[in-house]
C-alpha cells in the first residue's frame, strides 16, 4: 500500500509517499523559517495560511518524483496533534478531503510518535522493547516503548524543552532565528572550560528535566562578559556541553533502570552532532545500542508521518471522516499496535 504522509503541526509543511513493502518513495519539505524570522518566532495564523499554499504543490512534487498516480494511493496519514490548532487543521482537512475523494482510509498520527518511529525507517531498524529519548522544539521526554503504540513516559521537562533552550539561548546572545542549529555550529569554535554551567536535576532521582535555569545562567554570563565573538562561541560550547551531559546522564540512568538494550533518539535536537557522539560513546561503554534517524529526519518531516501512519493503517486503524485534531495529546493514550513489525 502507498501511504501519503502530511505534516503541518508547526512551521514546516512535510509531504511524503511511503510504500509498505518498498519503503520511502519520495518526500518534500517546505520550511517557513523566512516567513517567521522577522517576528523572531512562529506566528500561528501565518503558519496556517502558508500550509494551505504549500500542501498540494508539495504532494504533486512527491507524486511526480516517485512516478505515482493518485489512483495508486492506498491511504493517507496526517499529523493530528500535538501542535498549533490552525496548522493541524490545514493538514487534517487536506488529508481527509484527499482520502474521501479517493475512497481510501485516513489516519491521524501523533506527531511525537512520528518522531519516535523515524529511526525505524533506517537500515537495520531497532525492535521494541527500547527506550526513546525525544528531544525537540516542544518536548523533552524519556519514553519506555514496550511495543509500537505502547508508550510509558518515564520523565519529561518541567519547563523548557531542549530545543527551546537552544533557541532561547541563541536568541539572548543575538544569534539569528531559529537559533538551535546556529548555536550548535558556533559551539564547535568554542574553547573548552572557559565557562561552566550546571547540569540541572542530575542529583535528583527520576527522569525529569529542567532547562530554564540554564538559560538564565547563560544570560548572566553573557551580560557580564565582553560580548565578543570568541566569548559567544565559548558560552555556546559550555551551554551545549551542559545540555548534552544532562541528557546523556538521564539516558544512562533510564537504560540502567529499565534494563533496555537499545536507545532510540529522535526529534530536532537529535541532529546535534555532540549529542550523537556522546550517546554513541555511552552506549559503547555500557553495551547498549543507539539508533538515530538521519539528521534530516530528526526535525519535522512528512516521511515519519507517512511511516507511522502506514503502520497504523496496516493494522487496520483508520477513523471516521470527521475532521478532528488534538492540539494537546498524551502519547500514553495511543492505541497499541500489538504484533506489528516494520512495514
Ligand atoms: P515538537 O516536535 O516538540 O512539536 P518541533 O516540531 O518544533 O517541536 P523539531 O522540528 O523536532 O521540533 O525540532 C526543532 C528543534 O530542534 C528546534 O528547537 C531546533 O533549534 C532544534 N535543533 C535542530 N537542529 C539542532 C542541532 N543541530 N542542535 C541543537 N538543536 C537543534
Ligand atoms: Mg519546526
Ligand atoms: Fe517535531
Determine the average pLDDT of the residues in 54-72. 98
The residue ranges of DSSP E strands in the chain, in sequence order, are 2-7, 12-19, 23-31, 73-81, 106-110, 130-135, 140-147, 150-156, 262-266, 289-291
Ligand 2 center–CA 203 separation, angstroms = 32
CA atoms within 13 A on the CB side of 175: 23
What region, left, alpha or beta, does residue 23 occupy, with left being phi > 0 and alpha being psi -120 to 50 degrees? left
Ligand 3 center–CA 30 separation, angstroms = 14
**CA dihedral (132, 293, 162, 279) positive or negative:** positive
Do 174 and 165 contact (CB within 8 A), yes or no?
A: no
Cα-based angle 174, 175, 181 (whole degrees, multiple of 5): 155
Cα-based angle 20, 25, 29 (whole degrees, multiple of 5): 120
203 belongs to an annotated ligand binding site: no
Ligand 3 center–CA 11 separation, angstroms = 10
pLDDT of 90 over the 50 cut: yes
3 belongs to an annotated ligand binding site: no
Ligand 2 center–CA 193 separation, angstroms = 31
pLDDT of 339 over the 70 cut: no
Determine the average pLDDT of the residues in 36-59. 96
115 belongs to an annotated ligand binding site: yes
Residue nearest to atom 3 of ligand 1 (CA): 138
User: To 10 degrees, the CA torsion angle through 14, 269, 278, 159?
Assistant: -150
Q: What is the DSSP letter of 194?
A: S
pLDDT of 135 over the 90 cut: yes
Can you give the pLDDT at residue 320? 87
Residue nearest to atom 27 of ligand 1 (CA): 272
Instruction: Delineate the domains of the chain, giving CATH numbers in brackets.
Output: 2-116+300-333 (3.30.420.40), 128-292 (3.30.420.40)
Q: Which ligand is nearest to the CA of 164?
A: 1
Can you give the pLDDT at residue 319? 87
Distance CA 17, CA 73 (A): 9
Distance CA 219, CA 12 (A): 29
Distance CA 284, CA 137 (A): 28
Q: Mind listing the pLDDT tens digit for each residue in 102-130?
A: 999 999 999 999 999 999 999 999 999 99
Residue nearest to atom 1 of ligand 1 (CA): 138
Cell, residue 290 = 543507539
The length of the chain, given as a count of residues: 343
Do 279 and 5 contact (CB within 8 A), yes or no?
A: no
Do 109 and 309 contact (CB within 8 A), yes or no?
A: yes
Determine the average pLDDT of the residues in 231-259. 98
Looking only at the bridges linking them, the beta strands covering 12-19 and 140-147 are unpaired
Helix (H, G, I), strand (E, B) or coil at 46: helix
Cell, residue 4 = 501519503
pLDDT of 225 over the 80 cut: yes
Ligand 1 center–CA 273 separation, angstroms = 13
What residues line ligand 1, using a CB cutoff of 6 Å? 9-10, 83, 111, 115, 136-139, 163-164, 166-167, 178, 180-181, 184, 267-269, 271-272, 299-300
Can you give the pLDDT at residue 177? 86
Ligand 2 is an ion; its neighbours by CB within 5 Å are 10-12, 300
Can you give the pLDDT at residue 343? 46
Q: Supply φ then ψ for residue 53, to 5 degrees.
A: -70, -35
51 belongs to an annotated ligand binding site: no
Residue corresponding to grid cell 493518485: 70
Helix (H) or strand (E) segment spanning residue 237: helix 229-258
296 Cβ contact list (under 8 Å, min separation 6): 29, 271
Percent of the residues in the chain that have a pLDDT greater than 90, as a whole number: 96
CA atoms within 13 A on the CB side of 118: 32
At 9, the pLDDT band (50, 70, 90 cuts) reads very high
ipTM over 0.90: yes
pLDDT of 342 over the 70 cut: no
Range with the poorest average pLDDT among 194-198, 288-292, 315-319: 315-319
Amino acid at each position: 500500500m502507498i501511504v501519503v504522509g502530511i505534516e503541518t503541526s508547526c512551521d514546516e509543511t512535510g509531504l511524503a509517499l511511503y510504500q509498505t513493502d518498498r519503503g520511502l518513495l519520495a518526500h518534500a519539505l517546505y520550511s517557513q523559517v523566512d516567513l517567521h524570522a522577522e517576528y523572531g518566532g512562529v506566528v500561528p495564523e501565518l503558519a496556517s495560511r502558508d500550509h494551505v499554499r504549500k500542501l498540494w504543490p508539495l504532494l504533486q512534487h512527491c507524486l511526480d518524483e516517485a512516478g505515482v498516480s493518485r489512483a495508486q494511493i492506498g491511504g493517507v496519514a496526517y499529523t493530528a496533534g500535538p501542535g498549533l490548532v490552525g496548522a493541524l487543521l490545514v493538514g487534517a482537512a487536506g488529508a481527509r478531503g484527499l482520502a474521501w475523494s479517493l475512497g481510501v482510509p485516513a489516519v491521524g498520527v501523533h506527531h511525537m510518535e512520528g518522531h519516535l518511529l523515524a529511526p525505524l525507517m533506517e537500515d537495520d531498524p531497532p525492535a521494541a522493547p527500547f527506550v526513546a529519548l525525544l528531544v525537540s522544539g516542544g518536548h523533552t521526554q524519556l519514553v519506555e516503548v514496550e511495543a509500537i503504540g505502547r508508550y510509558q513516559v518515564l520523565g519529561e521537562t518541567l519547563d523548557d524543552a531542549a530545543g527551546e533552550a537552544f533557541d532561547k539561548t541563541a536568541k539572548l546572545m543575538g544569534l539569528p532565528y531559529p537559533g538551535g542549529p546556529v548555536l550548535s555550529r558556533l559551539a564547535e569554535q568554542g574553547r573548552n572550560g572557559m565557562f561552566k554551567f550546571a547540569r540541572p536535576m542530575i542529583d535528583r532521582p527520576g527522569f525529569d528535566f529542567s532547562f530554564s535555569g540554564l538559560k538564565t545562567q547563560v544570560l548572566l554570563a553573557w551580560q557580564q562578559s565582553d560580548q565578543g565573538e570568541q566569548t559567544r562561541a565559548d558560552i555556546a560550547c559550555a551551554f551545549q556541553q551542559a545540555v548534552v551531559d544532562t541528557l546523556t546522564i538521564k539516558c544512562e540512568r533510564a537504560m540502567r533502570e529499565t534494563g533496555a538494550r537499545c536507545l532510540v533518539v529522535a526529534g530536532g535536537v537529535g541532529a546535534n552532532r555532540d549529542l550523537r557522539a556522546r550517546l554513541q560513546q555511552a552506549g559503547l561503554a555500557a553495551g547498549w545500542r543507539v539508533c538515530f534517524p538521519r539528521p534530516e529526519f530528526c526535525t519535522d518531516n512528512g516521511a515519519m508521518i507517512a511511516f507511522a501512519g502506514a503502520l497504523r493503517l496496516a493494522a487496520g486503524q483508520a477513523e471516521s471522516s470527521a475532521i478532528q485534531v488534538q492540539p494537546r495529546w498524551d502519547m500514553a493514550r495511543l492505541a497499541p499496535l500489538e504484533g506489528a513489525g516494520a512495514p
